[in-house]
Amino acid sequence: MLTAEHMESLIRRYFDGCNDADVEGMTACFTPDAVHYFPPGMYGGAWRGARTIAENWAHRVATLGSAWTVDRVLTDPASAQAVIEWSHFRTAQDTVLRGDEWYVFDAGSGLIAEIRAYYASPLDPGRRELALEGFDYAGRGYPMTCPVPRPHPSQVTG
Protein backbone atom coordinates (compact mmCIF):
# COMPACT_ATOMS: atom_id res chain seq x y z
CA MET A 1 0.00 0.00 0.00
CA LEU A 2 1.25 3.46 -0.90
CA THR A 3 1.99 5.95 1.85
CA ALA A 4 2.29 9.72 1.68
CA GLU A 5 5.89 9.42 2.84
CA HIS A 6 6.78 6.96 0.06
CA MET A 7 5.14 9.09 -2.61
CA GLU A 8 6.85 12.33 -1.55
CA SER A 9 10.18 10.57 -1.09
CA LEU A 10 10.01 9.08 -4.60
CA ILE A 11 9.14 12.44 -6.16
CA ARG A 12 12.05 14.09 -4.34
CA ARG A 13 14.38 11.25 -5.36
CA TYR A 14 13.28 11.77 -8.98
CA PHE A 15 14.05 15.50 -8.72
CA ASP A 16 17.44 14.73 -7.14
CA GLY A 17 18.11 12.49 -10.15
CA CYS A 18 17.06 15.30 -12.47
CA ASN A 19 19.40 17.78 -10.77
CA ASP A 20 22.28 15.27 -10.86
CA ALA A 21 21.51 14.24 -14.48
CA ASP A 22 21.43 10.69 -13.07
CA VAL A 23 19.69 8.69 -15.80
CA GLU A 24 19.71 5.43 -13.83
CA GLY A 25 18.44 7.14 -10.69
CA MET A 26 15.57 8.80 -12.53
CA THR A 27 14.70 5.65 -14.49
CA ALA A 28 14.37 3.71 -11.23
CA CYS A 29 11.56 6.05 -10.11
CA PHE A 30 9.25 5.08 -13.00
CA THR A 31 7.35 2.14 -14.35
CA PRO A 32 8.99 1.09 -17.64
CA ASP A 33 6.04 2.45 -19.69
CA ALA A 34 5.65 5.73 -17.79
CA VAL A 35 4.46 8.82 -19.69
CA HIS A 36 5.32 12.47 -19.03
CA TYR A 37 2.82 14.86 -20.67
CA PHE A 38 3.56 18.53 -21.46
CA PRO A 39 1.64 21.55 -22.72
CA PRO A 40 1.48 21.96 -26.52
CA GLY A 41 4.78 22.87 -28.12
CA MET A 42 6.85 21.90 -25.07
CA TYR A 43 9.69 19.42 -25.60
CA GLY A 44 8.15 17.82 -28.68
CA GLY A 45 5.10 16.35 -26.95
CA ALA A 46 4.72 13.54 -24.44
CA TRP A 47 7.80 11.54 -23.45
CA ARG A 48 7.06 7.81 -23.30
CA GLY A 49 9.13 5.34 -21.32
CA ALA A 50 11.13 5.66 -18.10
CA ARG A 51 14.49 5.81 -19.84
CA THR A 52 13.31 8.38 -22.40
CA ILE A 53 12.08 10.64 -19.60
CA ALA A 54 15.38 10.33 -17.74
CA GLU A 55 17.59 10.84 -20.79
CA ASN A 56 15.62 13.89 -21.89
CA TRP A 57 16.00 15.60 -18.49
CA ALA A 58 19.70 14.73 -18.36
CA HIS A 59 20.03 16.36 -21.79
CA ARG A 60 18.36 19.53 -20.45
CA VAL A 61 20.88 19.68 -17.60
CA ALA A 62 23.74 19.39 -20.11
CA THR A 63 22.38 21.93 -22.62
CA LEU A 64 20.33 24.39 -20.57
CA GLY A 65 22.01 24.16 -17.18
CA SER A 66 18.64 23.04 -15.80
CA ALA A 67 18.05 22.68 -12.08
CA TRP A 68 14.77 22.15 -10.24
CA THR A 69 13.21 22.63 -6.84
CA VAL A 70 10.15 20.93 -5.38
CA ASP A 71 8.23 23.80 -3.81
CA ARG A 72 5.03 22.13 -2.53
CA VAL A 73 3.80 18.54 -2.32
CA LEU A 74 0.32 17.12 -1.74
CA THR A 75 -0.25 13.36 -1.76
CA ASP A 76 -3.32 11.14 -1.77
CA PRO A 77 -2.22 7.55 -1.17
CA ALA A 78 -5.80 6.25 -1.39
CA SER A 79 -6.01 7.34 -5.05
CA ALA A 80 -2.29 6.76 -5.80
CA GLN A 81 -1.94 10.39 -6.91
CA ALA A 82 0.07 13.43 -5.91
CA VAL A 83 0.50 17.00 -7.06
CA ILE A 84 3.50 19.27 -6.69
CA GLU A 85 4.58 22.81 -7.49
CA TRP A 86 8.08 23.23 -8.86
CA SER A 87 10.55 25.77 -10.18
CA HIS A 88 12.82 25.00 -13.17
CA PHE A 89 15.89 27.19 -13.43
CA ARG A 90 17.46 27.29 -16.90
CA THR A 91 20.81 28.85 -16.05
CA ALA A 92 22.12 28.91 -19.65
CA GLN A 93 19.15 31.11 -20.64
CA ASP A 94 18.82 32.94 -17.32
CA THR A 95 15.12 32.00 -17.16
CA VAL A 96 12.83 30.38 -14.62
CA LEU A 97 9.77 28.26 -15.40
CA ARG A 98 7.23 27.51 -12.70
CA GLY A 99 4.42 25.03 -12.72
CA ASP A 100 2.57 22.08 -11.28
CA GLU A 101 2.73 18.38 -11.98
CA TRP A 102 0.08 15.76 -11.36
CA TYR A 103 1.55 12.34 -10.55
CA VAL A 104 -0.14 8.97 -10.94
CA PHE A 105 1.55 6.08 -9.14
CA ASP A 106 1.34 2.39 -9.93
CA ALA A 107 -0.19 1.00 -6.75
CA GLY A 108 1.46 -2.40 -7.19
CA SER A 109 5.06 -1.28 -7.66
CA GLY A 110 4.83 2.11 -5.95
CA LEU A 111 6.56 3.70 -8.95
CA ILE A 112 5.54 6.76 -10.94
CA ALA A 113 3.41 5.79 -13.95
CA GLU A 114 2.42 9.21 -15.27
CA ILE A 115 3.25 12.89 -14.89
CA ARG A 116 1.08 15.68 -16.29
CA ALA A 117 2.97 18.97 -16.33
CA TYR A 118 1.19 22.33 -16.25
CA TYR A 119 3.32 25.42 -16.85
CA ALA A 120 2.62 28.91 -15.59
CA SER A 121 2.70 30.93 -18.80
CA PRO A 122 0.78 33.53 -20.77
CA LEU A 123 -2.40 32.53 -22.58
CA ASP A 124 -1.77 31.65 -26.22
CA PRO A 125 -4.48 33.49 -28.19
CA GLY A 126 -3.70 31.39 -31.27
CA ARG A 127 -4.94 28.20 -29.64
CA ARG A 128 -8.57 27.23 -29.23
CA GLU A 129 -7.76 24.68 -26.54
CA LEU A 130 -4.98 25.09 -24.00
CA ALA A 131 -4.41 21.55 -22.79
CA LEU A 132 -1.74 18.88 -22.54
CA GLU A 133 -0.63 17.64 -25.92
CA GLY A 134 -1.47 13.97 -26.50
CA PHE A 135 -3.41 13.49 -23.26
CA ASP A 136 -6.72 11.63 -23.72
CA TYR A 137 -9.06 14.00 -21.87
CA ALA A 138 -12.23 12.42 -23.27
CA GLY A 139 -11.05 8.90 -22.55
CA ARG A 140 -10.22 9.85 -18.96
CA GLY A 141 -13.70 11.29 -18.38
CA TYR A 142 -12.84 15.00 -18.44
CA PRO A 143 -15.61 17.34 -19.61
CA MET A 144 -15.38 18.13 -23.30
CA THR A 145 -18.13 20.75 -23.47
CA CYS A 146 -18.98 23.74 -21.35
CA PRO A 147 -21.33 22.71 -18.53
CA VAL A 148 -23.41 25.87 -18.86
CA PRO A 149 -24.89 26.89 -22.23
CA ARG A 150 -23.30 30.12 -23.39
CA PRO A 151 -23.83 32.03 -26.62
CA HIS A 152 -20.93 32.31 -29.03
CA PRO A 153 -19.26 35.75 -28.65
CA SER A 154 -20.45 36.67 -32.15
CA GLN A 155 -24.06 36.25 -30.92
CA VAL A 156 -23.70 38.54 -27.94
CA THR A 157 -25.06 42.05 -28.41
CA GLY A 158 -23.96 44.69 -26.20
Kindly report the pTM of this predicted structure. 0.85
Class of domain 4-155: alpha beta
Tell me: the pLDDT tens digits for 42-92? 889 999 999 999 999 999 999 989 999 999 999 999 999 999 999 998 888
DSSP SS3 for 14: helix
Tell me: the pLDDT tens digits for 103-130? 999 999 999 999 999 988 766 778 777 7
Where in the chain are the domains? Answer: 4-155
- Report which residue type is found at 6: H
Query: How far, in Å, CA of 72 to CA of 69, rounded?
Result: 9
